[in-house]
Amino acid sequence: MTARGRAAACAKGRRKDGMLVNVKRNIPFSPPDISQAEIDEVADALRSGWITTGPKTKQFERDLAEFSHTTRFACFNSATAALECALRLLGIGPGDEVITSAYTYTASASPIVHVGATPVLCDVAPGSFEIDYDQVAGLVTEKTRAVIPVDVAGVMCDYDRLRAALESVSGKWRPRTPREELFDRVPIVADGAHSLGAVCHGLHSGQAADLTTFSFHAVKNLTTAEGGALTWRDIPGLDSEELYRDLMLMSLHGQTKDALAKTRVGAWEYDVAFCGWKCNMTDLQAALGLAQLRRYPGLLARRREIVERYERGLADLPFSLIKHYGDDFASSGHLMLARIEGASQEFRNAFINEMGEEGVACNVHYKPLPLLTAYKALGFDIADFPNALAQFSNEVTLPLHTKLSDDDVDYVIAMCHDVFARLSAKGVR
């Protein structure tokens, strides 16, 4: 039986009288995968009496660093906060420019605005979800303080190409602070929200960019309900412990001691070094993360199985699927992005609606930033980003999560065939 045949059979059920009937399933888009291990770890935190930033958060940071093969991790209440703190570490503020992709979620760009800098959007390469590395070089000015590439769907960017592009215009780099002087080009601050566990050219996500942020939001591969983290590669002259202390200060009002440190006898005394923010991760969040991280290799393996099942089952449809695995790279398998070749936005939108009627929740990743009100108000026009618009116009994201059974995936595949055929027969293009 062909892949389509197996999928179609799976989409059927039998009544007791033996008659075949359609059985509509309910396939959510991205529910969290919570096991008894997570429940037990959170319960342990609750029983411990320590629920804010404490021993579990510090252990989670150490475990993340070991998993990602980096020296240190700093955890926060969101990836957005992590990215903002990364920009502040570099001294980025008013009068500065930061380049990021036009094809991403707002959280890649809004921290640039938060620190008072000016976002500069770069188009993606033709037929790609990755930032156009050649175009980046042309956008660098003497005001450029950082570039934020985005690992869309868990596929790492080509950081070798990006570094080479930035090195080609290194003459425009004007470091202003001692920390910036450690770089011989514009620093790369990766939005790795999707890519924990990905590998490219022998480097793990977290090792390739100068600094990398991750998200542990409820829909991410590894969740702490809400949460994020920042790590960095070993850079000659960069003191990781000093960097970590600065990040902790930022996350806790600029206070020189956190609650855990103040519990030691006679250790109540503290100072506030500057007016910081409040964006620390709690031990309740970290408890979820600790259990998730222990399970994570198995979760990544299951995601790969699902991706490969989609690739086989959709091979006879005009769907261009994002490539998650290759000879020298493996993504985290976060999102199943598909472009319906030759289709209009009308067709794509109708496809998503029809799939919903069949019980399959689909999504779109992403609406390019220049289509959003906030970025239109900043002066961006989608006409300047034709490749991002082309990627968006016919993109649909299929369910990809570890609560899916093989039968669930086959049902999604069967519905993709049925809905595509149905819309095509109606003349929708």
- Domain range annotation of the chain: 3-32+301-425, 36-289
Please tell me the CATH superfamily of domain 3-32+301-425, with its number: Aspartate Aminotransferase, domain 1 (3.90.1150.10)
- CA distance linking residue 24 with residue 415, whole number of Å: 10
Per-position DSSP letters for 343-376, written without gaps between them: --HHHHHHHHHHHHHTTB--B-S---GGGSHHHH
Task: Compute, in degrees rounded to 10, the torsion defined by CA atoms 305, 300, 303, 101.
Answer: -130
Which residues on neighbouring strands pair with residue 98, listed in sequence order? 119, 146
> What would the pLDDT profile of 178-189 be if each residue is shown by its tens digit?
999 999 999 999
- The pLDDT, as a whole number, for residue 112 is 98
pLDDT of residue 348 exceeding 90, the answer is: yes
pLDDT of residue 262 exceeding 90, the answer is: no
- The pLDDT, as a whole number, for residue 22 is 60
pLDDT of residue 266 exceeding 80, the answer is: no
Choices 3.40.640.10, 3.40.50.300, 3.20.20.70, 3.30.9.10: CATH for 36-289 = 3.40.640.10
- CA distance linking residue 424 with residue 427, whole number of Å: 5
Give the global pTM: 0.94
Confidence of residue 21 (pLDDT cuts 50, 70, 90): very low
- Strand 228-232 vs strand 329-330: parallel, antiparallel, or unpaired? unpaired
Strand blocks (E) in 61-111: 73-76, 97-101
Share of the chain above pLDDT 70, in %: 93
pLDDT of residue 3 exceeding 60, the answer is: no
Confidence of residue 91 (pLDDT cuts 50, 70, 90): very high
